Chains A and B, each alone.
Chain A
Amino acid sequence: MTGATSGAATSPAAIRLTDIHKSFGPVQANRGAALEVARGEIHALVGENGAGKSTLMRVLSGMYAPEQGRMEVEGRDVTGWSTADAIDAGVGMVHQHFMLVPTLTVAENVMLGRELTSGLQLDRTRAERDVTELSRTTGLAVHADRRVADLSVGEAQRVEILKTLYRGARMLILDEPTAVLSPPEIEELWQVLRGIRARGETIVLITHKLDEVMEISDTITVMRHGRTVDRLKTANTTPAEIAKAMVGRDVQLAMNYLAEDRGETQSEAQPTAAAVTGPLLDVHDLVVLDSRKLTAVNGVSFRVNAGEILGIAGVEGNGQTELLEALAGLRAARSGSVRLGKRELTTLDVKARGDAGLSHIPEDRHARGLILDYSIAENLILGQQHRFTRGVRIDQEHVAENAVRQIREFDIRPPDPRQAARALSGGNQQKIVIAREMSRAFQVLLAAQPTRGVDVGAIEFIHARLRDARDAGKAILLVSADLAEILALSDRVGVMYGGKLVAVLPRAQANEEILGPYMTGAATEPAA
């Protein structure tokens, strides 16, 4: 199956996993997964959502014990070791969801579990010095004395990596590290990873994004349905070949849109009916406060026409979250107005806005979009429970029939309506949200990070559904940290910076070079 590498056996591989099996109840997450990583390389572990990548890496880092299979690290048999063993042996994992204590400082978080003390007291000064030193040598720029709660996601991730290195990790596992980063932050991360590799350390990178794989990795392992299906040398392969191995057939890659645009291919999908029907979503001079009562959205006005996708780009934390919450009715607007067609939404609650024709794919599916302990079927009616009620009862037959239909149409796996959403992979969880929000009757769709943490095949599918909705005359507000996604889908592109909409450009006039300065605040004059 794998292991088809140079059998010279000079030094043992840094990591060698063979025939790993791990299941959760009826779900077989790994059934014959394998991985071999040489010392000092950056190895990309790719696969669709639910392919079992994260599970395999959790097995490696000692969080799960495999039911079958063999694990070797630096030639030593470590099958079924504990997380403590793994840390001692220098295997460190940086999780997709950060595991930091928000109220502690960067230095305190980094030393947590290995506290430096002088006498009975914590030695904060030395911790901060150590962290600053490590930060300098690795290029992971952080302020050791700042509270984690005040950091941006990019900074928080750097702290996670620092923490892992501080514990002496020589084999670093990164689970989709770029999902929350802006393009410049991603570039910085690559620099850091190359630096770590140069020191002879080993990196395993879990990712969906093939452009990242091509850019940063030396070798690639492809997983599908819990098995390892291919092992490639990056220099000898192409994104198309990887994608084919991941999905099991040819796919059209989302990032091709970017390439096409660079090659002068004009997006021909111009809103035709829009000018006639007028704006469906009309936001005027909206001001919204964040949870700390600071102005997060500062006088934003825009319109989204029927049959149009307005993409809002920007580094996260520039007011996009608060803007969407205010539009959805989850956060009160301080001033300004929101209209859907002729209907004034500003004072309506979430349910009334939904009834008025607003649909919402929230940015955080774990906190808002799903109730993780509810079944797939129950999650598929969340927010529409009134539609599925007869008298005071939930109409079980109706719920079940809806679930079976959505699961089939959106290929949610495993296709078991009773399965708790918690047991699904991130991509399949997102498909539940997409299925639910796109199958209700709506005129305006708020789509926030619709493909975050979702695999290539599903991205293609979700993008196609968004275009279909646009072509069917819906108005779509797309907010994404992924600039390629914004450029691939939008008819007009806006940029948010510091709570303001600093630019709105027709798609034809927007590209990475033009939008970049707006995203970083270097250019601010609002365009027409």
Chain B
Amino acid sequence: MTSATETQTTPPPQTTTNVLRTDGSARWAALEEAVLPGIVGLLVAAIVGDFLILSFGQSPGTVYRLLFEGTWGNAYGFGQVLYKTTTLTFTGLAVAVGLRAGLFNIGAESQLAAGGFMAAVVGLALPPGLPSLLTLPVYLVAAALGGGIVGGIPGILKAKFGAHEVITTIMLNFIVLALLNYIVAEHLKVPGSLHTSEIHGGGLPRLSNYIGGFHGSAANVVIFIALAVALATGWFLFRTRRGFELRAVGLQPEAAEYGGVNVGSVWWRAMALSGAIAGLGGLNFVLGYKLYYEDAFASGAGFLGIAVAIVGRNHPLGVVLAALVFATISQGGLAVNAVVPKQMVDVLQAVVIIAVAASVPEVRRMLRRGAR
């Protein structure tokens, strides 16, 4: 077939067979786009932090050294950072999956709680002494199911009735958290506390079992589950047909519909998947740390997942890195509490979010154009 518009100046078509596999420069550009805003955000936050610290009459050098020593500077602190990173990775991935489908899941908070609750209930019911090779899959399914149901309901409401997921997930946060509070307080609590009794079958090993330095920190093997879920999420989004369709719905629902995609069905599946990922995050506390479900065990981690997803640009790799950053800041707040108020760290967190939001490529392009 000869092309009718062929001219002598037509550049020869590329003949590589592997055109989708990005070459070095393209991969670097993609990485830059995913990571650079986060770095910019951190730099801006550090500068703002200087002024804040000075305003409290402290030396920035001292405070940052304390912050570093309390987090990455010793094994215990680093263990705590890893523990917090784990939960934030799950909630960040959950929000990111929703956003990729064009859905804003504000409900990671209650999905996380529901996942942890389900794992604890199943754990209480399992007879002690079972090998963890057998119980782990059961826990995974339970946690994913708990979060998946809480996430799937707003998805179905949107697909069937057009109810906006922001409204329904916010309302479900209240309903689910209140319901769990009621169940625990009325039926499952150990007297004098707001948590269930301990799971006798035992939980998942802490990292301190393998590396002594982590002793006392809550870091546990669920972090490897988090990393595996991040990898699986990336594979699903960018390598599978359903991922292709999910992202298509998120970018242009009308074009996806034209492409034979059932938009409503993608909506509810994406919300259920998002909820399931958040639900898995409950394992970190329930199986990896305390071995029981405690009311409001992860307050804030679900909402912080929104910031993690945005700072991580909805990319699994970015989400993991962003989770690490937010976990560090949050743990660092405890370390510097003696010299400056802990709230300063909350301010820094907010600065990171604002700086990253302002350094996304679209905005950068506008700034560059204006500068010329």
Contacts of B370 in A (CB 8 A): 82
Beyond A65-B369, A386-B241, 20 additional pairs, beta carbon < 8 A: A48-B5, A247-B7, A248-B9, A350-B260, A371-B252, A375-B20, A377-B19, A383-B258, A385-B260, A396-B18, A396-B239, A399-B20, A404-B14, A411-B3, A411-B10, A415-B11, A417-B14, A457-B4, A458-B5, A460-B5
| B109 partner residues in chain A, CB cutoff 8 A | none
Chain B interface residue number, banded: 35 or more
26 A–B contacts, CB within 8 A, in A order:
A48-B5, A64-B369, A65-B369, A65-B372, A82-B370, A225-B9, A247-B5, A349-B260, A368-B255, A371-B248, A372-B251, A382-B255, A383-B258, A393-B239, A394-B240, A396-B18, A400-B17, A400-B19, A404-B13, A404-B16, A408-B13, A409-B1, A417-B19, A417-B20, A457-B4, A460-B5
CA distance in complex: A455, B241 (Å): 34
Considering only CB atoms, which chain A residue lies closest to B368 in the complex? A65
Q: With both chains docked as a complex, state the minimum distance between the C-beta of B180 and any C-beta of chain A, in angstroms.
A: 34
Take A397-B18, A408-B13 as given contacts and tell me if A249 and B252 are in contact as well, using a CB distance cutoff of 8 Å.
Answer: no
Residue from the set B3, B5, B11, B13 with the largest chain A CB neighbour count within 10 Å: B5
**Given the contacts A80-B372, A374-B248, A393-B239, A351 and B260 also touching, CB distance less than 8 Å:** yes
* Nearest CB in chain B to that of A224: its residue: B9
Complex alpha-carbon distance, A464 and B251, angstroms: 33
* Contact call A367/B252, Cβ cutoff below 8 A: yes
Contact mask for chain A residues 184-228; partner B; CB cutoff 8 A; 1 contact, 0 none: 000000000000000000000000000000000000000001000
> A418 contacts which chain B residues (CB < 8 A)?
19-20, 22, 26
- Shortest Cβ distance from residue B321 to the other chain A in the assembled complex, whole angstroms: 22
CB–CB A394/B241 < 8 A: yes
Known A225-B9, A392-B241, A417-B14: A372·B252 in contact at CB below 8 Å: yes
Q: Is A42 an interface residue, CB under 8 A from the partner?
A: no
- From 240 to 266 in chain B, residues with beta carbon under 8 angstroms from any chain A beta carbon are 240-242, 244-245, 247-248, 251-252, 254-260, 262
Q: Does B186 contact A (CB under 8 A)?
A: no
Mark contacts of B46-87 with chain A using CB atoms, 8 A cut-off: 1 yes-contact digit, 0 otherwise.
Answer: 000000000000000000000000000000000000000000
Measured CA separation A371–B341 after assembly (Å) = 48
Q: Is the CB of B260 within 8 A of A414?
A: no
Q: Which residues of B contact A409 (CB under 8 A)?
A: 1, 3
CA distance A360 to B255 in the complex (A): 12
Whether A392 pairs with B242 at a CB distance below 8 angstroms is yes
B244 — which chain A residues lie within 8 A by C-beta?
378, 385, 394
List of B residues within 8 angstroms of A413 by Cβ: 10-11
Asked if A77 CB lies within 8 Å of chain B CBs, one says no
Closest A-chain residue to B248, C-beta based? Answer: A371
CB 8 Å contact bits of A451-471 with B (1 = contact, 0 = none): 000000110110010000000
Q: Which residue on A lies nearest to B22, using beta carbons?
A: A418
Point out the residue from A350, A383, A408, A457 that lies within 8 Å of B5, measured CB to CB.
A457
Alpha-carbon distance between A51 and B247 when the two chains are bound, in angstroms: 31
> Which residues of A sit under 8 angstroms from B11, Cβ to Cβ?
413-415
Does any Cβ of B come within 8 Å of A410's Cβ?
yes
Known contacts A248-B7, A411-B10, A415-B14; decide if A330 and B257 are in contact (CB<8 Å): yes
On whether A403 and B19 interact (CB within 8 A), knowing A394-B244, A411-B10, A461-B3, the answer reads: yes
The DSSP consensus for interface residues of chain B is loop
Complex contacts, A464 vs chain B, CB 8 Å: 4
Query: Are B259 and A385 in contact, CB atoms less than 8 angstroms apart?
Result: yes
Residue of B14, B241, B262 near A393 (CB, 8 A) is B241
Name the residue on B nearest A62 (C-beta).
Answer: B369
- Cβ of A495 within 8 Å of any chain B Cβ, yes or no, is no
> A368 and B258: CB pair below 8 A?
yes
Q: How far is the CA of A414 from the CA of B20 in the complex (A)?
A: 15
- Give every chain B residue within 8 A of A328 (Cβ-Cβ): 258
Q: Is A362 an interface residue (CB 8 A)?
A: yes
Cross-chain contact B257 with A350 (CB below 8 angstroms): yes
B4's closest neighbor in chain A, by CB?
A461
Contacting pair A396 B21 (CB below 8 A): yes
A-chain residues with CB within 8 Å of residue B9 when the two chains form the complex: 225, 248
Residues of A within 8 A of B14 (CB): 404, 415-417
Partner of A330, one of B4, B242, B258: B258
Q: Which residues of A contact B20 (CB under 8 A)?
A: 375, 377, 396, 399-400, 417-418
Residue in contact with B239 in the complex, picked from A370, A371, A394, A461, CB distance below 8 Å:
A394
Q: Is A354 an interface residue (CB 8 A)?
A: yes
Q: What B residues does A372 contact at CB under 8 A?
A: 251-252
Interface residues of A in 371-430 (CB under 8 A from B): 371-375, 377-378, 382-383, 385-386, 388-389, 392-394, 396-397, 399-401, 403-404, 407-411, 413-418
